[in-house]
Structure 1
Amino acid sequence: MQQKNEEIKSIPMLEAETQIAMYEIDAESNLTADTSQVYLGNKGLIAFIALMNMFIPLSTDLYLPALPQMNTYFGSSSAITNLTLSAFFIFYAVGMLFWGPLSDRYGRKPVLIMGSIVYMMCSIVCALSSNIYFLILARSLQGIGAGGITSVSIAIIKDSFSGKRRESILAVCQAVSGLAPMLAPVVGSLILRFTNWRGTFWTLAVISIISLVLSILYQETLKEEERYKGTLAGSIGRLLIVAKNRGFIIPAVIFSLSAIPFMGYIATSAYIYEDYFGLSAQSYSYFFAANALLTLFGPFIYVRFLSAMDKKVFTLLFFGISTLSGVLVMTIGTVAPILFLLSFVLMSLSVAITRPFSTNLLLEQQKSDIGSASSLINTLFTVFGTTGMTIASVPWGNIVVGLGVLITIFSALTLVSWILFLKSNIPCVGLKDKLSF
């Protein structure tokens, strides 16, 4: 507990890092007159994008401590209750495939407003649910609303910034959004002290109201001349055009493989810490938050110390570290919760460090249809993540070993696939034409 308190006290240092990065971004911003934010301002826009990226971890991690309680309340098994997670992600992915292309045709703002409204209404329905299957249905529709909020987040960054500034902004947004998985389980466990699991969904409803207000204040960043001028059906068809770009889609698939073990951890972490190691819901939230806190520094580590590194060496190094993490989880991670944390954090930190580079690399491959590209990036991560949640929820003889196997196999697959891609003749702007951005 004392160790956790010391970790939480390190947050001011993170805030100082964030302020420095935000100052640099503000000083170097290249927002045009057409995309300037009169109401939100430059920093407000970045904070809004960070909030968009928080919606998914908030939608899942906030009620993770309540999963065992929900099992008891509904009289369901953990596999059934976990469908509230996997169903959310499935429909979130489906929703993004429509929202992203629509934002290329109609603009980012209408999509943000509609997504926020749908999410808010479904959060209220979730809070009022009295049947586990009705809750699963409400969570599915909530996922569609979440897709409208997050599908355009990356596109807005591409609309407004370029080059190294974009990479720095991606790092800031991804790091700040990392506060959600750190704080959500802690807040969720505190909510359980005063109310039951329903309180977590009322909290999500309030957050969606904030998103709706910010969406109204946000000024459109997609210029009229850059919008898709074809039919509605044609705008959805642009997904296929983007998917045919091998320099985009193959790296997107490879980077998304990390979602399988990571979301497997999200689905099983409460059971690992509470059931396997016998910790309380409050203690579980501290361990979960500790992993998120350490991961939070990943994007800053990349920008400050690793952005000039040979990108081929950089990616191979951290894919290798992720594979090592799986082996450690299978072995020493089964002994004690602190050893499990230290073993798994290598994988989650590796993913966080590579995210600014991988996202920027993918954006470099597309000069248009950015909403569709953003949708595909998020959808691939979500689909693989849902797969990971399903696999991890299958009864294992040892739940920790099962997660370790998941990390090892898919991290190794990522490493091998990346090596094959680097050796192929498929062009990739920013990687094969030069070693750094």
Structure 2
Amino acid sequence: MTQSPNQTSLEVGSKQKYLGHKGLIAFMALMNMFIPLSTDMYLPALPSMNTYFGSSSAVTNLTLSAFFLFYAVGILFWGPLSDKYGRKPILLVGSILYAASSIACAMSVNIYFLIAARIFQAIGSGAITSVSMAVVKDSYSGKKRESILAICQSISGLAPMVAPIVGALILTFSDWRGSFWALALISIVNLGFSILFQETLKVEERYTGTLFGSLGRLVIVSKNKSFIIPALIFALSTLPFMGYIAVSSYVYVNYFGLSAQIYSYFFAANALLSIAGPFIYVKFLSNMNKKLFASMILAIATLSGVLVMTLGTLTPLLFWISFLFMSLSGAVMRPFSANLLLDQQESDIGSVSSVIGTLFTVLGSIGMALASIPWGNIVFGLGLIITIFSLISLLLWNVFMKSSIPCVGVKNIT
């Protein structure tokens, strides 16, 4: 018998004695905030950090790109372990590691110590976020899961909106260290949630093989073409957004000559409108033909790149409007893509979460590196990246849809 959404909510809530259903959603949303909080909060301080440490933009930006690279490594390690040992132990270890490394970041004496501390911070955050997606799969299914993903992604969307404003505010009474002290405090809150959290992975569903064998499940999951191909396509489509994260402060502060505070408002306004993306999908687009939906969204992202290359180079407002099409299309796509990828695999969900996170993070790091290249015109360079990779994703999606490879929820080929 199919459960109603209310029945599902009550069942999930009853499994969380201390958090309940709403508390679990809040916890999952907080876990999803860790990456934007870890990157966006100190973005306003990047230009001043160059001066403080006497380093170049390329070296200072390693605090971003190295973070994402080792975050991907952390995800690969933690996800399969959560399939073997359960979600809670991994959450506890990750939260403690993140808190300790955030304190180390705040106490850094030079740029290279900060980069090293950010690497450990990234590994800790990998444990937190890899478990968050697995908990969603453990606890929900079908349309309910898609709705929960939309809720969590919208709530977590507050992070990129609030983080740069808070970061710029911190700069008015502190220096760049204040942002990392704030991250340490947030991680302590997350640790409290982790302590109250009750395990969602049943004992009988855990991987019973060796530790090495659990890591080997990553290979098994990656061989599933129905999963790995769309995962690559969706990861490629988000690559330009991470490029924007890396250079947005330089675009607004250096290219357009705005203050760090005004930059934070532009950044936050973009994030605020993006919060509506998951709800727009659930409310208006979730019943649309999935093949057509993804093609439409990727086409809009491609158009955004063309607009950024042309109109976006003229004024900060036109840049903001041009890029908004890219960020809003990505926000609309997120609940669809996450649910679709989870549907392609019935077991080894920790490994699934790891592979998804790693693909998105590695390609995101590439996007950051590409956007940080001295283009001559930084806005044109970003627009070119958006156009090329959105178009590639659009073409690959349509090739995949015409292939004989099945895809649960979109096409089923026997």
Question: Partner letter of residue 418 of structure 1?
Answer: W
Number of aligned pairs? 410
2:365 counterpart of 1:382: no
Which residue does the alignment assign to 1:351? 330
Alignment deviations for residues 165-203 of structure 1 (CA, whole Å, 9 cap, x no partner): 000000000111000000000000000001000000000
Match of 2:203 among 199, 221, 224: 224
Displacement after TM superposition at 1:99 (Å): 0.2
Q: Is the 8 A contact 2:13 2:22 kept in 1?
A: no
* Cα drift, residue 31 of structure 1: 5.9
Q: Distance in 2 between matches of 1:180 and 1:34?
A: 25
User: What amino acid is aligned across from residue 81 of structure 1 in structure 2?
Assistant: T
Query: What whole-Å deviation, never above 9, does each CA across 1:218-256 have from its counterpart, x for those lacking one?
Result: 000000000000000000000000000000000000000
Give the TM-score, by structure 2 length. 0.97
Aligned partner of 2:105 in structure 1 is 126
**2:315 paired with 1:336:** yes
From 346, 349, 364, the equivalent of 2:343 is 364
Give the corresponding residue for 1:47: 26
Q: Is the aligned partner of 1:313 residue 2:292?
A: yes
CA distance in 2, matches of 1:64, 1:341: 17
Query: Against the structure 1 CA distance between its residues 32 and 255, is the aligned structure 2 distance closer, same or farther, given a 3 Å change threshold?
Result: same
Residue type of the alignment partner of 1:313: L
Cα distance in structure 1, aligned partners of 2:11 and 2:29? 21
Matches within 5 A, 1:50-129: 50-129=29-108
Residues 238 and 330, structure 2, Cα contact 8 Å, conserved in 1: no
Any conservation in 1 of the 2:146–2:335 contact (CA below 8 Å)? yes
- Unmatched segments (≥5 aa) in structure 2: none
One of 231, 237, 240 as aligned partner of 2:219: 240
The alpha carbon displacement at 1:28 in A equals 4.8
After TM superposition, give the deviation of residue 260 of structure 1 in Å.
Answer: 1.5
1: CA distance, partners of 2:121 / 2:11: 34
TM-score (norm 1): 0.92
Paired residue secondary structure (1:378): helix
Return the alpha-carbon distance in structure 1 between the equivalents of residues 92 and 21 of structure 2.
20
1:184 aligns with 2:160: no
Structure 2 residue matching 1:105: 3-state secondary structure: helix
SS of alignment partner, residue 90 of structure 1: helix
Distance 1:310 1:205, change over 3 A: same
Match of 2:233 in 1: 254
SS of 1:255 mapped into structure 2 = helix
- 2: CA distance between counterparts of 1:165 and 1:76? 49
- Shift, 1:414, TM fit: 0.3
Q: CA deviation at 1:35?
A: 7.0
C-alpha separation between the residues in 1 aligned to 2:317 and 2:155? 25
Indicate the percent of aligned positions where both proteins have the same amino acid. Answer: 69
Query: Structure 2: which amino acid aligns with 1:184?
Result: A
- Contact 1:37-1:219 at 8 Å conserved across structures: yes
Matched residue of 1:130: which SS?
coil
Match for residue 198 of structure 1?
A: 177
Of residues 244, 264, 272, the one that matches 1:265 is 244
1:209–1:26 CA distance, 2 compared to 1 (3 A): farther
| SS of aligned partner of 1:214 | helix
3-state SS in 1 of match to 2:209? coil
Give the whole-Å Cα distance in 1 for the aligned partners of 2:332 and 2:7: 23
8 A Cα contact 2:45 2:168, kept in partner? yes
Match of 1:174 in 2: 153
State the match for 1:10 in structure 2: none
Q: Which whole-Å CA distance do the structure 1 matches of 2:322 and 2:10 have between them?
A: 41
Deviation at 1:130, TM superposition (A): 1.0
Q: Which residue of 1 aligns with 2:270?
A: 291
